[in-house]
Chains A and B, each alone.
Chain A
Amino acid sequence: MILEFVWTHAPALLVAIPLLGAFLCPVIGKISRTTRTAWVAGIMLVSAIVAFILASRVLTEGTVLYSFGAFDPTLTIPMDSGGIPIRIIFTVDAMSAFMDIICATVGFSAIAYSLSAESRNSGLEGYYTLFLLMVCGVFGMVSTGDFFNFFVFLEILSMASAGIIAYRVDGGVAVEAAIKYFVLSSVGAIFVLFAIGIYYGQYDALNMAVIASRIQWSTLDMIALVMLVAALAMKCGAVPMHFWTPDAYSMAPSSATAFLVVASQASLYGLFRVLFTFYNVTLNAATMGWIIIILGVLSMVVGVTMAIPQKDVKRLMAYHAVSQTGYMLLGVGVGLAVLGNQPLMESFGYMAMSGGVFHILNHALYKGLLFLTAGAIFYRIGTRNLNKMGGLGHNMKWTMIFFIIGALAIAGIPPLNGFASKLMIYESVFIFNPVLAIIAMVVSILTLASFVKVFHSIFMGPQLPEYAGVKEAPPSMLLGMGILASLAVIFGLFPDLVVTTLVNPAVHALTDQGAYIASVLGGA
């Protein structure tokens, strides 16, 4: 009975449950701290379960549609509308389901972690309200099939993220980071809104499938594409527009930073959705593909070279996040560059895209894990400065193990998950252009070098007298890190499992524009 209900209404519950949880959080927090803890953890757990149920439904039944407020949720086109879907429709295809799974996994780990990590702070009902709103924003962005609705969830996500970055005021430094993030997000959101206006003016529709079916590659479409690529590449932290990431990632509380990584990837999803579902073969694939590749290569190189000299551990990790985003852009960009050329797609295009998309999942896992370990160290010793750390391996053994897993995964060392996706990218990109593959490998080596240094300065060496009494992180923080670390290991050991069940369907859902349109408008 309940399962059947969830099965039918999963796309709506995906945003309804976190919203309800967020709005009730201040009320429940009045009762007691334990009730609030149970409430927040319960809401996140239920949302995660719904996300997994939805994903399994998508993978068994194909694209799931949900019309809000319709008589029947599967009724996309009302009888008297003249063949146009007028309602807000959630179109959850394999790519959306893939992103939903990432959001559910990292969201649950981060919430579990935050239960002890933030327990010493005041204003927690605000923190959890914002956190659940972020979860709702990501779920909405990746599931929606209506482009204006995408903008609404983008704004929910930006507002909540800006609030959560400023949560630990820290003498105003965090507030400065939040203002920087907020101004840039607002500019980006206005670009997105302008592009939506262009589509609406030309094609009289906001539904993504209708826009995709009518797109013509006119001058206005080109302007809209430039605006969307600029805005969404900025929101995901690609290089010429990456400057908000170090500030925002380092100043946000660590559990929120782990989720901010997922938030950036929701924008990356938006970018891919625009390129592949809206334009697909109508755009000049080679030019656009190379633009994305150049963005990716710039991000990889600049990110890693900026990361090496950093002294603040979270700032360093933030630059590495920029660098890793480059891999996703590189992989998917190579796929875009040969889009429409079926033999080349078969020989390496699909594999490059699978590598890029798989890297989104892997990055969310190991980068989330690394930020959580940095937060655990900050929780115990109260500093993020690498020069002041040392010898923590004696006291924080579990944190050290989790850090090693994360660091080796980000550097692409087998048998961890980072290696699995990077290998796919290297192999396929090498066929496309060997220079790009060599750059990607060099960046990986630099990443390893950087993390060896970080590992040494945090954990190695004799026990420092000022940290003699430092204890291991509390159990709930270890639980959050443990989930991500074990998934990183499992996905590294059995990459085929994930690639065939989740990643390949996601990539085919992205490239197959016709199937996306047909799922909403009917008739193939």
Chain B
Amino acid sequence: MSKLVRFAADILYPVVLIFGLYIVAHGHITPGGGFQGGAVIATGVALVIVAYGYREVTQWIGKGGLMAREVVGLLGFIGTALVAFIFGMPFFYNYLAGQGGLFGVPVTYGPNPGELNTGGTVPLMNFAVGIEVWGGLALVILYLLSGLVPHDDHEKEGS
């Protein structure tokens, strides 16, 4: 693509990334969550592919790396749920809620503007799902676009 498009993509990519991370991080108090945030981040990958071309982008991010993100996300999710067994609690028990610390601020009854540091294991699972969907959807996009031929090659073939 032209230099203009690449420049715009350079500016937009961090914005897309931050917006996606925002949706993931606020998953437990606003609409959205891990899946939606991860999908937004994956659109950032699509944007970069459109701007820079498939061949160049695959040199920066490989399929192996994306696959690894998928596995890490999925294991993070099931691992968070399984840890409850160590505390002698049922599967998926929220052992962090109300315990203090980064995610364990107790929530008072009644309306509040939305405390970010609450939710216990829920934000952890949102992050895990976010990582998984980022890797998974980016991989899907890479496979879908792997048939694309760069513009110059296309002209050569046509002539």
Contact = CB atoms under 8 A, between A and B. Distances in A.
Contact of B92 (A5, A13, A20, A68): A68
A328 to B, nearest CB: 32
Interface string B48-91: 00000000000000000001000100110010011011000111
B71 A23 contact: yes
A26 B67 contact: yes
A223 interface: no
Contacts of B82: 16, 20
Contacts, number: 44
Interface in B112-143: none
A24 B75 contact: yes
Contacts of B84: 69
A70 B94 CA distance: 8
B142 to A, nearest CB: 16
Contacts of B74: 23
B93 interface: yes
Nearest to A24: B75
A68 B91 CA distance: 6
Nearest to A74: B90
A62 interface: no
Contact of B93 (A5, A20, A26, A70): A70
B94 A69 contact: yes
Interface string A67-95: 11111110000000000000000000000
Interface string B80-110: 0110110001111110000000000000000
Nearest to B81: A16
Contact of B90 (A26, A27, A72): A72
Contacts of A68: 90-92
A19 B81 CA distance: 11
Interface string A3-39: 0010001001100100110011011000000000000
A5 B67 CA distance: 34
B90 to A, nearest CB: 4
Nearest to A73: B90
B89 A71 contact: yes
A19 B90 contact: no
Given A9-B85, A16-B82, A69 B92 contact: yes
A52 interface: no
Given A16-B81, A20-B78, A9 B90 contact: yes
A67 B90 CA distance: 8
Given A16-B81, A16-B82, A23-B78, A9 B71 contact: no
A70 B67 CA distance: 33
Interface in A307-361: none
B71 A16 contact: no
A72 B71 CA distance: 30
A374 to B, nearest CB: 31
Main secondary structure on A side of the interface with B = helix
A163 B92 CA distance: 28
A19 B71 contact: no
A68 B92 CA distance: 6
Nearest to A8: B90
B90 A69 contact: yes
A27 B94 CA distance: 27
A402 interface: no
Contacts of A66: 90-91
Nearest to A90: B91
A67 B93 CA distance: 10
A69 B91 contact: yes
Contacts of A70: 90, 93
Contacts of B78: 16, 19-20, 23
B45 to A, nearest CB: 20
Nearest to A87: B92
A66 B71 CA distance: 28
A9 B92 CA distance: 12
Interface string A270-307: 00000000000000000000000000000000000000
A69 B94 CA distance: 6
A94 B38 CA distance: 40
Contacts of A67: 90
Contact of A26 (B71, B81, B85, B92): B71
A26 B64 CA distance: 11
Contacts of B85: 5, 9
A295 to B, nearest CB: 36
Contacts of A73: 90
B75 A69 contact: no
Contacts of B81: 16
B105 to A, nearest CB: 19
B135 to A, nearest CB: 12
Given A16-B82, A23-B74, A69-B92, 7 more contacts: A19-B78, A23-B75, A24-B71, A24-B75, A68-B91, A69-B91, A69-B94
9 closest A-B pairs (Cβ-Cβ)? A12-B91, A69-B92, A23-B74, A73-B90, A68-B92, A69-B93, A23-B75, A20-B78, A19-B78
